[in-house]
Amino acid sequence: MTDRADAIVIGAGVIGSAVAFELARGGRSVIVVDKGPGPGTGSTSSSVSLIRFSYSTLDAVLAAWESAALWNDWEGHLGAADPDGMVRFIRTGMLIFHTPGNNTKRVEALWDEVGIAYELLDSAALAARIPGLDIGQYFPPKRIDDPAFADEATSQMTAIFEPESGFIDDPMLSAHNLAFAARQHGAEFRFHQEVVGFEQTDGRVSGVLLADGTTLHAPVVVNVGGPHSSGINRLAGVTEGMRIHHRPLRQEVFTVEAPEGMRLEDGFPAAADLDLGQYIRPQLGGTWMLGGTEPECDELHWVDDPDAFDPYPTVEQFEVSMMRAARRVPSFGVPHRPVGLAALYDVADDWVPIYDKSDLPGYFMACGTSGNQFKNAPLAGKFMAAIIDAEAAGHDHDEHPVQYVGPRTGRTINLGAFSRRRDKAVTSGTVMG
């Protein structure tokens, strides 16, 4: 093993591995360091791995639509088949209920602009499309101890249905696939390694110091540390130049048995139900994954130390999630005890990721990505490589943001939309982006 490389990537999750892959494929020698035991064993392993295009900004919609083409041709994108198996994209379609204030009309306008097909479903069509669904509107979302939780519906729901969305069947394996492909181009991965400091030479980053005393040298360092990335940025001393910040948020996701006739195998789609504050994602084996969409009535649990949080779901949130599911699907059989997990998201102030340089030359970051950026991992790697290449050629990404042209659409994605210095983007303010 060498202690020198052209680039060091901190973090071997799905996005860190994608960054390593693109840098190595572009000809750089790359070393990836991660505290965990293998690729994708951190927050990536807890991802719902949903592939959808429902975002509030044009650049985010384009990124998701372009990335989906790469997930659909995963082996072609990687240029190699991982002998440990390759992930599969499972198409389900995406149902999004029209809800006051959730930017659905904005999403429709953006899909029209990009050319993403969808259907508008009135109440009758929605009821016919998914029999067994309670299509009553109960907005705003409420906790189950709120007396208004049991109120009758105020009207009937309408929705949009987009047929190309779906999910990746194994999120941790997706990072493993990317790491395997990166290794084919010479990238080296070092696990059980913690970054505790940074080396600087002539005012630019020149390496990282590891907890075991090793120093790795490189003129480029990329922070893709997931829930640890805000701490890594503080360690590097780059936070003062950031207008957008990010921090770890604890989230709970539950696995439940899907009602009869509403399984993945029955054609049940993924559903974004901001009317009740929840999403449903069917999965193989006749189960659903249930998670929250950060409604105003739910307390957000920010975490100071990402190494010290309770990884087990709470009875309180379990009961809320189950009762919301039962309200939407009356035939839902509420289980008696929680089956699920708690994990950390790395969340930016506006729920839009940061793909950018920093005020320390040579130090780059792909942060604030958890919760809604798994789907964009293939393109995130390309974005970071484009920014790093441009800076190496003398281009100032702060002054003149790099423009990435998507091969699927031929449309330009302004990477300045993901700048650490941007104004807060106008989004749903939730995991939906």
Sign of CA dihedral 147, 156, 167, 108: negative
Q: Which residues contact 73 (CB under 8 A, 6 or more apart)?
A: none
Cβ contact 178:17 at 8 Å: yes
Q: What is the DSSP letter of 212?
A: T
What local confidence, expressed as pLDDT, does residue 372 receive?
A: 82
User: Confidence band (pLDDT; 50, 70, 90) for 430?
Assistant: low
Cβ contact 93:272 at 8 Å: no
- The torsion angles phi and psi of 288, rounded to 5 degrees, stand at -115, 155
Q: Which residues contact 201 (CB under 8 A, 6 or more apart)?
A: none
Q: What is the DSSP letter of 125?
A: H
| Site of tokens 């340089």 | 357
How far is Cα 339 from Cα 323, in angstroms, rounded to an integer?
15
- pLDDT at residue 19 tops 80: yes
Mean pLDDT along residues 344-353:
94
| Site of tokens 């000809």 | 27
Domains, the chain, ordered by start: 7-86+169-245+350-418 (3.50.50.60), 90-166+250-343 (3.30.9.10)
- pLDDT at residue 102 tops 70: no
Residues in the chain: 433
CB < 8 Å & 24+ apart, contacts of 79-83: 79/25, 79/181, 79/184, 80/180, 80/181, 80/184, 82/173, 82/176, 82/177, 82/180, 82/181, 83/180
Cβ contact 270:167 at 8 Å: yes
- pLDDT at residue 429 tops 70: no
Angle CA(77)–CA(53)–CA(19) in degrees, nearest 5?
A: 40
How far is Cα 27 from Cα 36, in angstroms, rounded to an integer?
26
Mean pLDDT along residues 279-307:
95
- pTM here is 0.96
- Give the DSSP letter string of 129-151: HSTT---EE-PSP--TTSGGGGP
pLDDT digits (tens, 9 = 90+) for 191-225: 999 999 999 999 999 999 999 999 999 999 999 99
pLDDT digits (tens, 9 = 90+) for 308-318: 999 999 999 99
